[in-house]
Structure 1
Amino acid sequence: MRSEFFRAFRAAIVTTTVIFSTQSALADKMHGIAMYGQPALPPDFVSLPYANPDAPKGGRVVTGNVGGYDSLNPFILKGEPPWQLRFLSYESLMGRSWDEPFTLYGLLAESVEVGPNREWVEFTLRAQARFSDGSPVTVEDVIWSYNTLGTKGHLRYRGFHKKIASITATGPRSVRLTFNEEDRELALIAGLRPILKKSQWEGRDFAESSIEDIPVGTAPYVVDNFELGRSVVLRRNPDYWGNDLPLRRGTNNFDEIRIEFYGDNTVLKEAFKGKAISYVREFNAERWETQYDFPAVQRGEIVKSEIPHQQPSGMTGFVMNTRRAPLEDWRVRDALIHAFNFEFINDTLTGGRQPRITSYFSNSELGMKNGAATGRVQELLKPFANQLLPGALKGYALPKSDGTKRNRSNIRTAMKLLQKAGWTVQEGVLKNASGQPLQLEVLLQQDGLIQQATAIMDIYARALERLGITLTVTSVDKAQYAERERNFDFDLTFMRRSISLSPGNEQKFYWGSEAADQPGSRNLMGMKSPAAEAMIDAMLKSETREDFIAASRALDRVLTTGRYVIPIHQYAVGRIAHVKELKYPADRLPIYGDGIGFLPEVWWYEAEE
């Protein structure tokens, strides 16, 4: 394996051009870059608008994860690392502001330049940029990181690497990436790739690293110690190079972040009640209202905070695997959506407190509008009229029930759809012309974020029985689930896809045909839609916000009418219960609300005297 890696690496180096240019720059150096328009913050900004630049440093925060881990390298396919590591221990050339749709400001890089059509991007490193071991970040490290992550790293990094025509060192501290296709977002994606230390991996296979091989990063936190599968302790580096950067003022305030691992969500919640962990996020509105009145809350030792946001709903629900019969038939998927009695389930499990997701981009200006497609949206979709499913052009809405348990009208519609697809009830069992019964399995991870997923499926299974369909609910541990999900070994499974206010290339990884048959990809439904890919391309080539919105609304129609997912609740507000010592700038919340860029990044510890 080791020799294969270095042959591949040497081949990559041959294709990498290293030139020190003395020509004057073709574009102005900028402190930041926005997907559309100009960055909101000026070159001399003091801190991010949602951070408290005077926040005190110190204290410890303990967070809980369900399951375990067997890797501390978040950049490779091998192993399961704590998800927080990528965000807390590693930095990129630029950093994101979570108070703008998609804008980056200099982090490891002091400036950014782009070509007239963003066909290339050039970054100039800060002279003071350092790895956690004190060594300087070099152009060589940057080039190695792009090439290695793009060829040996996790799948999420490889698609971008294919779009790089060349990587060119243009000076002692500057590097240029030239792209091989038209895509305005690539310049920003380049700025968000993590930068790792090349010399750490000399003579070693990056893709086969062990638990002891922790990549050296540049971020404020480093792994201090760990107990395999049980805990990881991150320590704030006292010599962190970027303390005075505007992007960092008022952030990364805790001296220590401890990640504890629990076998299931119930045990984790009990640990929180005893203040063994510092905070939990609650995704069930009913539990938030009824189960957070335990003694520590009554005494004021634990505080309930609600964090609103302005981002799209994204998609949360049960995805159907179209690689498997009969789910490749949209009529069967449509029938399964009709049989899902959301109104009754929502009232039973959440007291009706959480509204349903209506489309992938709902709750934002990017979401499709009611009724028929018009204007630019119609123009984009019309060339694919003969491929689109019913409702894409004329209008579509999820079926609604009357809220009763029987859901009679929708069950009748579901049966008609199944009959058109060749399924009939024979002796109480739904069978096709060959006599095969319709049997489905829903795969769930034990005690995932949505704890009521099993309860939802139990109710759903009873509804499908009325159609003659057998639904088996299978709950497995994290390791088994990861393996089966990676290999698309399921009929239905739970899916959560967050979508930003500036969706882009990641949409191809979610819905693109190239990812459909790629093990480990996020295209869980296995969709292959030329219309969806054309809408994504239109989004990436848009030069105005208006064109971008039209393309995203058109994509929303393709995805929603594709009937790939049974949508459930949207999360229009973040719910965090936390110990009273944890504080946040409540008067300056970011438009993205809660997330890794919010907690723990801009929170701080403040003990009462």
Structure 2
Amino acid sequence: MRSIVLLTAAMAAIPALAADPADVPTRHALALYGDPALPAGFNHFPYVNPDAPTGGTLTRGASGSYDSTNPFIVQGTPAAGLTAIYDTLMVANPDEPFTMYGLLASGIRLDPERRWIEFDLDPEARFHDGEPVTAEDVVFSFDTLTEKAQPFYAAYYADVSDVRAVDEDTVHFDLAAGESRELPLILGQLPILPAHYWEGRDFERPTRDALLGSGPYRIAEIDPGRRIAYERVDDYWGRDLPVNRGRYNIDRLVFDYYRDQTVALEAFKAGNLDMRVESSARNWATAYDFPAANNGFVKRLEVPNGQPAGMQAYVMNLRRDKFQDVRVREALNLAFDFDWLNQNLFYGAYQRTHSYFENSEMAADGLPSDAERSLLEPYRDELPDEVFDRPLPIEQPQDMRARLRKALDLLHDAGYENTDDGTLVNAETGRPLTLEVLLYDTQFERVVQPLLRNLSRLGVKGDIRIVDVNQYLNRLRDFDFDMVVGGFPQSANPGNEQREFWGSEYADAPQSRNLIGLADPAIDALVDDLIAADSREALDTAAQALDRVLRWGFYVIPQWHMDSTRIAVWDKFGWKEPFPEYNLDLDAWWVDPERGAEIEARQRNR
């Protein structure tokens, strides 16, 4: 029996309460709230050009190195772009908040009580070797990913109580009652693996093979640590589906690896890379003044972000005793001077992040509403009084000297004292308070240094440790760090992934995204409230309550965000505007034949 199947007495009663699949209408799409924007029989997504030309190459840079072509497992460092070789049961429309349309699934039946979901597979669906995609492949994929892959999958699909093949083209999932409104939709995100290919192979070991999928691209070239290339599948089974028409136009996708982002930038300027998503405000302001850009061969785009900004932050590892005291964590927050960074290093490009759901209605503000209080009240004894009694945003002194004085008071209250030479030590053990920030990108060193300088004024000894990407990922998966720069991305409809971010059961699971090491029953319960929300209003309230508790815990030092994505691109690509509202879809871009030939000729003749 599958380890994920936990049939309690309550679950065993579900089939008697659920509707018969024969009585449930078959749909082409599912929306989290309301109805899909596009009707059955739609021709293509509105933001694509259905007549886009095909051909050409898109070469992008990737950081560090890779040693595996299996993106799903704990071991190894996977190559960039591997999702392009896999189809999923359904696919999202980036122009809607959260609506999934059939891809491998030609039809969907959802029980009105959301106790089960069935997918009819398209009988034309094929893997790249010509073998049909069957319901058994779906069952194999679910079992394999939830039992043998990264902890994310077990967390994401934790409320699936059973999965079975009804027949060759129909797969049925039983769902735990009332646990997750989004679960039927995120089951549509399940990547489907070929069971026949993996027979006799060890799924859990890294591999450098050109793995088999059913998606629009296949692996064409593997040069471990240096390059991976994908080629468009000419006879891709799904190329004429409405969700694919006008997409996947570029013949060849290439990822070249660079260990240093400065070198990668120079490679872009030389024309060795076609596109660069720029993460550095300094580079965006100063590094694109070069002949090709000045002569109109390079474009710079700022594409609006339609999703919440999420949380990018210095993440403290609660598995280290030094971070157990909330007063220490708050003091470290006070030493961070965003205004100085933004003015002196970032050219005023960013806004300070406060919320885990920044730039959305889900961000907590002021005092808790009555609806929030109803969720928080059962845990009053476990939560700090500030959650109930003090408003957000958390007010801090603007003057840095005043902030550091407050920080030092907090550290002294937490049992630290300064020695004659100013070093901050534990009053009982005499051990100094030290802090190491683990990085893999030298670009971030200049951003960390101001924080460490402020901490040194308190007597805290801070260091930066820069390691290569593989070592960084190994230390991350083993939680071997004091502090890292981490991210907790959010969608407009957060759900099951929150368990892996904050849930107790993932605090010690290798390679989980619970980087903080949170293991708090009150937070677990608030996550459950968010996942079970049955309306937009209830979801916003649950997210606000969770956000409020996380922020009063001072588990991270929030950094910054901006409301757009910066892209520099050689001007050989075409796209349709306006861009989709909620997510950028590079798969809808194409290479303009004339412009592409002109730029390639220029690069050859340099």
Same fold per superposition (TM over 0.5): yes
1:116-135 superposed matches below 5 A: 116-135=112-131
Shift, 1:161, TM fit: 5.0
Question: Are 2:581 and 1:591 aligned?
Answer: yes
The question of whether the paired residues in 2 share the 8 Å contact of 1:343 and 1:400 is answered with: no
Relative to structure 1, the CA distance from residue 390 to residue 335 in structure 2 (aligned partners, 3 Å threshold; closer, same or farther) is farther
The question of whether the paired residues in 2 share the 8 Å contact of 1:399 and 1:410 is answered with: no
Aligned length: 581
AA in 2 matched with 1:302 = V
C-alpha separation in 1, matches of 2:376 and 2:66: 44
C-alpha separation in 2, matches of 1:398 and 1:275: 47
Query: Given the alignment, which residue of 433, 438, 443 partners 1:438?
Result: 433
Q: TM-score, structure 1 length as denominator?
A: 0.92
Which stretch of structure 1 is more off in the superposition, 175-184 or 483-492?
Answer: 175-184
Shift, 1:454, TM fit: 1.1
User: What is the aligned partner in structure 1 of residue 34 from structure 2?
Assistant: 37
User: What is the aligned partner in structure 2 of residue 170 from structure 1?
Assistant: 166
1:160-309 superposed matches below 5 A: 160-181=156-177, 182-212=179-209, 214-309=210-305
User: What is the aligned partner in structure 2 of residue 602 from structure 1?
Assistant: 588
The question of whether the paired residues in 2 share the 8 Å contact of 1:130 and 1:218 is answered with: yes
C-alpha separation in 1, matches of 2:120 and 2:74: 30
Shift, 1:203, TM fit: 2.0
1:58-69 superposed matches below 5 A: 58-69=55-66
Shift, 1:341, TM fit: 1.1
C-alpha separation in 2, matches of 1:366 and 1:590: 22
C-alpha separation in 1, matches of 2:299 and 2:62: 20
The question of whether the paired residues in 2 share the 8 Å contact of 1:342 and 1:401 is answered with: no
C-alpha separation in 1, matches of 2:42 and 2:325: 54
Shift, 1:116, TM fit: 2.2
User: What is the aligned partner in structure 1 of residue 603 from structure 2?
Assistant: none
AA in 1 matched with 2:403 = N
Task: For residue 326 of structure 1, give the secondary structure of its aligned residue in structure 2.
Answer: helix
1:21-32 superposed matches below 5 A: 25-32=22-29
Query: Given the alignment, which residue of 448, 451, 456 partners 1:465?
Result: 456
Relative to structure 1, the CA distance from residue 358 to residue 162 in structure 2 (aligned partners, 3 Å threshold; closer, same or farther) is closer
Task: For residue 588 of structure 2, give the secondary structure of its aligned residue in structure 1.
Answer: coil
Relative to structure 1, the CA distance from residue 418 to residue 217 in structure 2 (aligned partners, 3 Å threshold; closer, same or farther) is same
Deviations 1:28-79 (A, max 9, x none): 1111111222112111222122222222111110011011111111122221
Deviations 1:547-578 (A, max 9, x none): 11111111111222221111111031111000
Which stretch of structure 1 is more off in the superposition, 485-494 or 112-121?
Answer: 112-121
C-alpha separation in 1, matches of 2:526 and 2:87: 31
Shift, 1:354, TM fit: 0.8
Task: For residue 55 of structure 1, give the secondary structure of its aligned residue in structure 2.
Answer: coil
Q: CA RMSD in A?
A: 2.1
Shift, 1:159, TM fit: 2.6
User: What is the aligned partner in structure 2 of residue 4 from structure 1?
Assistant: none
AA in 2 matched with 1:476 = V
Shift, 1:195, TM fit: 0.5
The question of whether the paired residues in 2 share the 8 Å contact of 1:314 and 1:362 is answered with: yes
User: What is the aligned partner in structure 2 of residue 533 from structure 1?
Assistant: 524
Relative to structure 1, the CA distance from residue 546 to residue 219 in structure 2 (aligned partners, 3 Å threshold; closer, same or farther) is same
Deviations 1:432-466 (A, max 9, x none): 1221111111111134xxx3x21121111111111
C-alpha separation in 2, matches of 1:315 and 1:390: 24
C-alpha separation in 1, matches of 2:215 and 2:505: 33
The question of whether the paired residues in 2 share the 8 Å contact of 1:342 and 1:400 is answered with: no
Deviations 1:188-239 (A, max 9, x none): 1211111011111222222125212x33111100001221211111000000
User: What is the aligned partner in structure 2 of residue 417 from structure 1?
Assistant: 410
AA in 2 matched with 1:90 = Y
Question: Are 2:404 and 1:408 aligned?
Answer: no
Shift, 1:502, TM fit: 0.5
